[in-house]
Structure 1
Amino acid sequence: MNQVIDTILSHRSVRKFEDKPLTNEQIEQIIRSAQAASTSSFIQAYSIIGVTDAAKKARLAELAGNQTYVAQNGHFLIFCADLYRHEIIGELEEKEVLDSIESTEKFMVAIIDAALAAQNAAIAAESMGLGICYIGGIRNQLEEVKKLLHTPERVLPLFGMAIGYPLENNETKPRLPLHHVYHENQYQDNKDEYIRQLNSYNDTVSRYYEQRTAGKRRDRWTEQMASMLEKKSRMYMKEFVQQNKMDLK
C-alpha cells in the first residue's frame, strides 16, 4: 500500500476542529488539486466558493441544521454545479447553447464534475494532515443559501466541505463489503445472497457502534437507512432546480 491509498483508506468525517485558519498556500493547493480532477469533455462545470466571513459561516451553520462545525473550522468551501459561465460562452461565441445547458445530461455532468473536484480537494486536505466533513445540510434551505452567496441562475450550491485541524478523530466507519458493491461483468442480483450480505454487514456496523459508544448504541445499517429514507426530506429540490434554469428537459 502506498501513501496515497493509505490516506484514502484512513478517511473519517471530522466535526471538531482547532481554532486555526488554513494558510493561503494550503487553500490554493487544495483548490488546485480540485481543479486537477477529471471533467467531462473539459467542460469544468463547477465553481467553489470559499467562505471566510464569520457572520456568513454562522448563518450557513444555522441553515444547515445548526451544525457548529460549519462555522468553526479552518476553512469552509461550497461546491456548486455551474452552467452560468457556459451561457456566457454561448453569448461570446454567438452559439445557441441553451437547449444543451438546460438538458438533464448537462445537469448531471455539472454535478459529477463538482463531486469529482470535491473528492480531489478532500484527499489533498487529508494528505496535509487536515480533516474534512462534507455538509449536505446546505440543501435544507437552498433559496436562503443562494441569497447569502449571491449565486446567479444556473449555479446550484450542492454541498459544503468543512476543513481544518482535527481536535479529535473517530475511528473509520466500516464500509459495505467489497463483494457487495463490486460486480464483475454484470449486476449480481441474487436477492437471497444480497440479504445475507446485508445482514452480515449489519453485524459489523452494530459492533462498530457498540465499541465506539461503550454499549450505548447498537445500530444496524439497514435500520439506519430505512429510518432515514422513511422521512421525506428536501422534497422541493426538483422544483427548485427547474426554477434555477437547470435540468429543464
Structure 2
Amino acid sequence: MTPAIEVMRGHRSIRKFTGQPLTESQLEAIMASAQAASSSSFLQASAVIRVTDPGIRAQVMNLCANQAYVGSAAEFWVFCADFHRHLHWVPEARTGFAEQLLIGAIDTALMGQNALTAAESLGLGGVFIGAVRNHPYQLSELLELPAGVIPLFGLCLGHPDQDPEPKPRLPKALMFSENRYPNEPETELMTEYDRQVRHYYQTRTGGNKDMTWTGQIADILAREARPFMLEFLRSQGYCLR
C-alpha cells in the first residue's frame, strides 16, 4: 500500500487531545490540502471558520451538545456551504436552487475530508462534529454568517491523546456493486457485521454498550432528526426552488 492509502485506511475519530497547538506550517498544509479538493463546476462553494477566540469557542461547544472535545481540541473549524461570496461578486447570479445545496454540501464535505486526511498524515487526529447543526440559528448569529452561508459540520483537530481501534466498516459486498443495485442484500454478511460491531462497542466501552449496527440504525432512524432544518435552509436562501 502507498502511504496515502495507509493513512486513509487507518482513520479513527479522535476525541481526546493533548494541549499541544498546531504549528503554522501544519495549519498551512492542512488548509492548502482542503482547498485542493475537487469542486463542482469550480464554484468553490465553501467557507471555513476557524474558531480561535476562547469565549466564542465555549459558546460553540455549548451549542454542540457540550461535547468537551469541541473546547479542548487545538483547533476547531466550522465548515459551511457558501453562496454569499458568489452573490457579492456577481449580484445577478441566480441562487436558491436545491441543486446548489447539494453542490455546496458536496464541495464542503470533500474539503473537510481532505483537511482531516492531511492532518492524519502529519500524525494529528480529529473528529467531525455534526452537532453544529443542533442550533443553526444561534450558531449563525454567533459566527455572523450572512444569508447564503450555512454551517454543515465542525472539525476538531489536534495531537491525539488516545489510540482507539478503527471502527469496523460494512463489508465491501454490502456497499459496492457492479452495473446495478443488488436485488437482495447478503443476510449472512450483515449478521456477521452486526456481530463485529457489537464486539467493537463492547470492547471499546468495557461492556457498557451492547449495540449492533442494525440496532443503531433502528434507534437513529426511529425519530425525526433536526426538524427545523428545512426552515433554516430556506431562511438562508437555500431550497427555495
What's the TM-score, normalizing by structure 2? Answer: 0.96
Counterpart amino acid of residue 115 in structure 1: A
RMSD: 1.2
Query: Is structure 2 residue 18 aligned with structure 1 residue 25?
Result: no
Alpha-carbon distance, 1:20 to partner: 1.7
Structure 2 distance, partners of 1:21, 1:159, is 22
Instruction: Give 2:156's match in structure 1, choosing from 156, 162, 167.
Output: 162
1:105 partnered with 2:84: no
| Pairs within 5 Å for 1:83-162 | 83-91=83-91, 96-98=92-94, 101-162=95-156
Once the two structures are superposed, residues 145-202 of structure 1 have per-residue CA deviations (whole angstroms, 9 ceiling, x without a partner) of 0011001000001100000001102100000001110011110021xx4433322210
Say which SS state the counterpart of residue 151 (structure 2) adopts.
strand
**Could you state the TM-score of these two structures normalised by the residue count of structure 1?**
0.93
Identity of aligned residues (%): 41
Which amino acid counterpart does residue 218 of structure 2 have in structure 1? A
String of CA shifts for 1:69-122, please: whole Å, max 9, x gaps. Answer: 00101111110000001112323xxxx322xx2111111101100000110001
Which runs of 5 or more structure 2 residues have no equivalent in the other structure? none
Output the amino acid matched with 1:111.
A
SS at match of 2:135: helix
The Cα of 1:24 is off from its aligned counterpart by 2.0
Q: Distance in 2 between matches of 1:213 and 1:110?
A: 36
Query: In 1, Cα distance between the equivalents of 2:198 and 2:164?
Result: 16
Unaligned 5+ residue runs, structure 1?
none
Counterpart residue number, 2:188: 196
Q: Distance in 2 between matches of 1:62 and 1:27?
A: 25
Alignment length, in residue pairs?
A: 241
1:227 maps to: 219
C-alpha displacement at 1:231, in angstroms?
Answer: 2.6
> Contact 1:131/1:166 (CA < 8 Å) preserved in 2?
yes
Which has more helix, going by share of residues? 1
> Secondary structure of the equivalent of 1:163?
strand
Determine the C-alpha separation between the residues in 2 that align with 1:211 and 1:84. Answer: 46
Q: C-alpha displacement at 1:25, in angstroms?
A: 1.9
* Separation in 1, partners of 2:129, 2:207: 28
Pairwise CA distance, 1:216: 3.4
Q: By how many angstroms is 1:132 displaced?
A: 0.6
Shift of the alpha carbon at 1:125? Answer: 0.3
Secondary structure at the counterpart of residue 230 of structure 1: coil
Displacement, 1:19? Answer: 1.0
